[in-house]
Structure 1
Amino acid sequence: MTEKPDITALVTARICHDLASPIGAIGNGVELVELRGKSLGEEGELVKASVNATVAKLKLFRIAFGQFHAEEMLNAAEISAVQTDWNITGRIHVNFAPKKMRKTDMKTCLLILQSIQVAMSQGAKVMIAIEEGRTIIRAIGPKVTFDEALWSALTHRHITPDLPPKHVQFALLQTLDLALQLQHSSTEMTVSF
């Protein structure tokens, strides 16, 4: 019997692929204006920043919601690119210590980072490291708002049936069936797998 395709991963890949071209064209247009020595002005700078953030998010979505074989690896330059893309998209600033990582582990890290964004909406500094064979994600920020109903998907294998789309990362983490460990306080979160 053949294995069924991961529909979520295929839809994500299709959306990212179809959006990358027109968004890239807008970015190229902005770049052409700059190459001609013309000022972008306030409006143009806003378009440029939005295009850069959107391109970065598309790259991250391809990894976070994509499908990979266990042996596929990211090298130091690719990890650095993921870190750069992540850091231009929001309030959570991340530093990846590993110089090599499986794509499946990066996928898990990005889903966890999206989950941490929900709990630490005011921002955080995050360090990702590998210690004794486990990937450790430590976040420190001004405030942790811990929603037990969401995080129970990671710790107790229970997901609320009325999960909104903005929290799909919690359901996807549950499907990965990993031995996730979670600790939190009022200002810190640590998730490991």
Structure 2
Amino acid sequence: MSDLDFASLLCSRLCHDLVSPVGAINNGLEILAEEKDPAMRDAVLDLIDKSTRQTVNKLQFFRLAFGAAGGFSAQLDMREAEKATRALISGSRIEMDWQVSVPSASKSVVKLLLNLCLVVSETLIRGGKITVQLDEADEAINISVLASGARIIFPENIRATLTAGNAMDELEPRTAPAHLASLLVRELGGHLELDFTEGEQIAVHASLLKKAL
């Protein structure tokens, strides 16, 4: 698979996540064009408002996780990363504890952190809690994304892609974020460890060379 093919997979993933809220906005506008009942119009306007915010939240997150946010800046504000992640999971019954001790980090580090958050959050199909940690050691940057919930589903193909990053011919939009995280770990001269207790908790740890910060 070429870089172009992988970029296409990321675009497909983005489109997949946006089609539902954008479609709801479109349907709502079509209903408003004909609906006269005030109560129904209020309900439709509420749907449009929620779908619009959901679309904006997803776009802001994917801009940081997949795109070239920040232009030519070498560093990104970690407060922006936290805001984007909180917005992404809002309304999903997922609680997040953000424990990041650095004010900024390189684009690659931020992308890695956000893609790990995305992969892990999608395993909490009935909600739960995610703890996000990033701190500096003497010679390394340590990232951990921990999750616990009533029911966790972590498909084997996503786990394999996250830890190995070598299933290029088997990649699909759903596994693209995990593969991107794996690529970033290698780019940053680090390694990734995964602890998974079936249906109970997940812990993803990445240790990177400090010069990547």
TM-score by length of 2: 0.64
State how 1:63-102 maps to structure 2 within 5 Å: 63-67=64-68, 71-76=74-79, 78-88=80-90, 90-98=92-100, 100-102=103-105
- Structure 2 residue corresponding to 1:182, chosen from 194, 208, 212: 194
1:53 paired to 2:54: yes
User: Which residue in 2 is equivalent to 1:125?
Assistant: 129
Q: Which has the higher contact order (CA 8 A, sep 6+)?
A: 2
Q: Secondary structure of the residue that 1:93 maps to in structure 2?
A: strand
CA distance in 1, matches of 2:110, 2:89: 15
Query: Could you tell me whether the CA contact under 8 Å between 2:157 and 2:175 is conserved in 1?
Result: no
Alpha-carbon deviations, 1:146-176, whole Å to 9, x = none? 3233211222333262333122112212322
Query: Could you tell me whether the CA contact under 8 Å between 1:92 and 1:125 is conserved in 2?
Result: yes
Please give the root-mean-square deviation of Cα atoms over the aligned residues, in Å. 3.4
Per the TM alignment, residue 91 of structure 1 is displaced from its structure 2 partner at its CA by 4.4
User: Which residue in 1 is equivalent to 2:45?
Assistant: 44
1:192 paired to 2:192: no
Please, which runs of 5 or more residues in structure 2 have no aligned partner? 30-37, 207-213
Partner amino acid, structure 2, of 1:185: T
CA distance in 2, matches of 1:181, 1:191: 6
Number of equivalent positions? 169
1:115 paired to 2:119: yes
CA distance in 1, matches of 2:150, 2:172: 25
Query: Could you tell me whether the CA contact under 8 Å between 2:133 and 2:145 is conserved in 1?
Result: yes
Query: Could you tell me whether the CA contact under 8 Å between 1:56 and 1:89 is conserved in 2?
Result: no
Partner amino acid, structure 2, of 1:100: P
TM-score by length of 1: 0.70
- Structure 2 residue corresponding to 1:167, chosen from 164, 168, 175: 175
Q: Secondary structure of the residue that 2:110 maps to in structure 1?
A: helix
**Distance 1:161-1:89 versus aligned 2 partners, 3 A rule:** farther
- Structure with a larger share of its residues in strand: 2
Q: Secondary structure of the residue that 2:170 maps to in structure 1?
A: coil
